[in-house]
Each structure stands twice: as structure tokens, then as C-alpha cells.
């Protein structure tokens, strides 16, 4: 009699890299569609250019490293990096800004560290942070979502803006995001009540941004339900950010924005479900995931409130990426039959 015996570990179902990446891409669709709804061609040009440059740089680096090109291009990892950068960068970003961002993400943050699976930092956030530090004006000015749609800005005008920088008369409708507006005006010693009265902030920090963040939340919950990601990182990150925001808001609600503003007015939901959960650069132990994500939430609030940038997900993620080896070392689960360590 012949037994069909398999030894551990045993994986059931198809769980390769391309399948995992595809499911994350599916979860990004609702938020991306809302971005397109509010910003029109500005987000479409971002998306097309980012993916195009990502695949180009990926192919070049694979060729230089003498690796097979087609299998790595088809694992969707470069597409996912490009997609995350495309939705994080301002609508109508110039083509060269996206090209340089993808150069940092794909070439420097990914391939110079050995490729997929070896990068200690989240590639998309490396590209975003490099551009934010180098070109703060271009990276912090977004079009007003209430004015921009396909009816107002055509493909030809978007093309002229992105590739030639031609002013077509609608740049005056651009401005700071709600997070940036609050940060700047608080620095001018205005109260939150005065700031909210002077602009369109909606219920939770901008109607458009609240809806977009709720769409990221819906996609993230779908990934948890599908077991693409675990609940540890999103819950700990949002709890860390929301918790410290609640404390300061209760102390002085005229000086510190509400927790809902912080959770729905920036990139918190995108960061919690799609960026911090990167399986390569994130912590891998159950306890480590909670510490890692809570740290991102705390650093996000600290940089937003007292730092030089209105949103801080990218910087917070990169800071905690550096701490991942130490966190994982001290949070290893106890092996059966051994003594319990100082962290359990």
C-alpha cells in the first residue's frame, strides 16, 4: 500500500506572491476609484506613469542583475509599489517627479538591497519620503476635490500640465490638504474653530478625504476577511494614532484636532491597511506587529503635530522599519519546552 504523505510545512491552496499582490490590488480599487471621481485625470495620469516607470526600472534592474525578467514582472510587486505611490502623490504630479520617485522606490529601496524579500524599508514610502523632502511644494499642493472632475479638466489639459507644466488657468483651484491647512493655521495661532470656519473641512477633515479614507477602510477590512493580512497591524496603528489624538484633544480641543480628523483626514487608513502591512519590511511576530504598528501611530501623530510635515505616515513607517529587527528579536514566541523570555 502506498501512502501519499507530506511533511510540514504544508500550504493549502494557491498562495504565491502574484496571488497575494493581486488581492491587495483588488482592495485598492474602491479608494482609487474615489480618487479618480474627485480628481479626474490627475489621478489617472499618476497611475499610468507610475506603473509604466515601475515596470521599466524593474526590467532594467533585473537585466543588470541577470535575473529572468518575465516572472518577476508578472508577480505584481512592482505594480503594487507603483499603485501605492500613485495614490499617495498629488493629482497632476509632473512626470519627472513620478519618475524620480519610482527610481528611488524600485532601484534604490528594492533592488540595491537584493530585490523582493530583502528590502528592509517599504519601497513606496522611500520614494514618497525622498520626494517630500526634496520637493515639498510639489508634494503638498493638491487640487481642490470639489472643483475637479472630468467635466472641468480634459485629458488634453491634464497632459499639458503633467508633461509641459503649462498653466491652463485652473491652478488657482489648487491648495493645501485639510491636514496641511490645519497645521499651518495653528502655527499662526488660530484656534481650530476659526480654522474650520474659514474653509471646507466637512465633518471629519474634508468630505472628499473622509470618503476616500472610508474606501481604504473597506478594502482593508476585505483583506482581513480574506486573510490577506492580519488584524494586528491595522488595529494597533489606528489605536495608537487615535489614542494619543484623543488624549490631546480632550486636554485642549481648540489646539489639537479630534481623533476622527486624524483618522479620516490624511493617509492613516491607507497606511494602516496597505503600507504598514508590507510583509517584507513589517514585523512578523504577533506581539511585534502590535508594537511596530502602535509605534507608527504614535510617530505619525508626533510628526503631524510638532514636526515639519502635515502628514507623516511615510516617515513613521520608515522609522519603525528600522526597529523591526530589534522588535522581532525580543518578541519571538516561546518555543514549547523552553523558559519564557522577558517579553513572554
Closest listed residue to residue 82, CA positions, set 47, 58, 56, 117: 47
* pLDDT recorded at residue 266: 83
C-beta neighbour count of 60 within 10 angstroms:
14
227: left (phi > 0), else alpha (psi -120 to 50), else beta?
Answer: left
Q: Tell me how far the alpha carbon of residue 17 is from its chain's centroid.
A: 20
Using alpha carbons, list the distances in angstroms from residue 29 to 4, 125, 278, 287.
42, 20, 18, 30
Contact by Cβ (8 Å): 88, 132: no
Which pLDDT tens digit goes with each residue over 13-25? 445 888 999 999 9
Q: Are residues 338 and 309 in contact, defined by beta-carbon separation less than 8 angstroms?
A: no
| Residue numbers of the chain with a pLDDT score lower than 70 | 1-15, 146-152, 167-176, 195, 197-206, 335-344
Tens of pLDDT, residue by residue over 247-272, are: 999 999 888 988 998 998 889 999 99
The per-residue pLDDT for 167 is 63
For 16, the 3-state DSSP assignment is coil
pLDDT of residue 339: 59
- Listed in order, strand segments (DSSP E) in the chain are 141-143, 174-176
pLDDT at residue number 15: 53
Q: What pLDDT was estimated at residue 206? A: 60
Q: Please state the separation of Cα 157 from the chain's center in Å.
A: 28
Task: Give the residues across from 141 on adjacent strands.
Answer: 176
**What pLDDT, on a 0 to 100 scale, did the predictor assign at position 202?**
57
pLDDT for the residue numbered 173: 56
Beta bridge partners of 175: 142
Residue holding cell 476635490?
145
* 143 φ, ψ (degrees, to nearest 5): -65, 155
The number of helices, as runs of H, and strands, as runs of E, in the chain is: 16, 2
Q: What's the pLDDT score for residue 182?
A: 79
Amino acid at each position: 500500500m502506498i501512502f501519499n504523505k507530506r511533511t510540514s510545512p504544508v500550504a493549502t491552496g494557491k498562495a504565491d506572491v502574484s496571488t497575494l499582490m493581486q488581492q491587495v490590488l483588488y482592495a485598492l480599487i474602491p479608494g482609487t476609484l474615489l480618487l479618480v471621481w474627485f480628481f479626474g485625470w490627475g489621478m489617472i495620469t499618476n497611475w499610468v506613469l507610475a506603473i509604466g516607470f515601475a515596470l521599466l526600472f524593474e526590467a532594467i534592474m533585473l537585466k543588470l542583475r541577470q535575473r529572468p525578467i518575465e516572472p518577476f514582472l508578472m508577480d505584481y510587486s512592482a505594480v503594487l509599489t507603483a499603485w501605492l505611490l500613485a495614490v499617495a502623490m498629488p493629482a497632476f504630479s509632473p512626470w519627472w517627479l513620478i519618475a524620480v520617485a519610482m527610481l528611488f522606490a524600485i532601484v534604490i529601496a528594492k533592488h540595491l538591497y537584493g530585490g523582493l524579500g530583502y528590502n528592509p524599508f517599504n519601497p513606496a514610502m522611500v520614494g514618497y519620503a525622498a520626494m517630500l523632502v526634496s520637493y515639498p511644494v510639489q508634494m503638498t499642493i493638491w487640487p481642490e476635490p470639489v472643483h475637479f472632475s472630468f467635466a472641468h479638466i480634459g485629458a488634453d489639459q491634464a497632459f499639458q500640465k503633467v508633461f509641459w507644466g503649462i498653466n491652463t488657468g485652473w491652478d488657482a483651484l489648487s491648495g493645501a490638504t485639510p491636514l496641511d491647512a490645519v497645521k499651518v493655521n495653528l502655527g499662526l495661532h488660530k484656534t481650530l474653530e476659526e480654522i474650520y470656519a474659514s474653509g471646507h473641512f466637512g465633518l471629519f477633515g474634508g468630505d472628499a478625504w473622509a470618503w476616500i479614507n472610508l474606501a481604504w477602510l473597506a478594502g482593508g477590512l476585505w483583506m482581513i476577511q480574506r486573510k490577506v493580512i492580519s488584524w494586528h497591524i491595522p488595529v494597533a496603528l489606528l489605536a495608537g494614532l487615535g489614542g494619543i489624538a484623543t488624549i490631546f484633544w480632550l486636554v485642549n480641543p481648540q489646539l489639537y484636532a479630534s481623533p476622527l480628523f486624524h483618522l479620516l483626514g490624511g493617509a492613516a487608513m491607507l497606511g494602516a491597511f496597505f503600507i504598514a502591512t508590507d510583509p517584507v519590511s513589517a514585523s512578523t511576530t504577533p506581539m511585534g506587529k502590535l508594537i511596530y504598528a502602535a509605534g507608527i501611530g504614535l510617530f505619525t501623530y508626533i510628526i503631524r503635530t510638532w514636526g515639519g510635515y502635515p502628514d507623516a505616515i511615510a516617515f513613521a513607517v520608515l522609522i519603525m522599519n528600522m526597529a523591526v529587527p530589534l522588535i522581532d528579536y525580543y518578541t519571538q514566541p516561546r518555543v514549547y519546552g523552553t523558559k519564557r523570555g522577558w517579553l513572554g
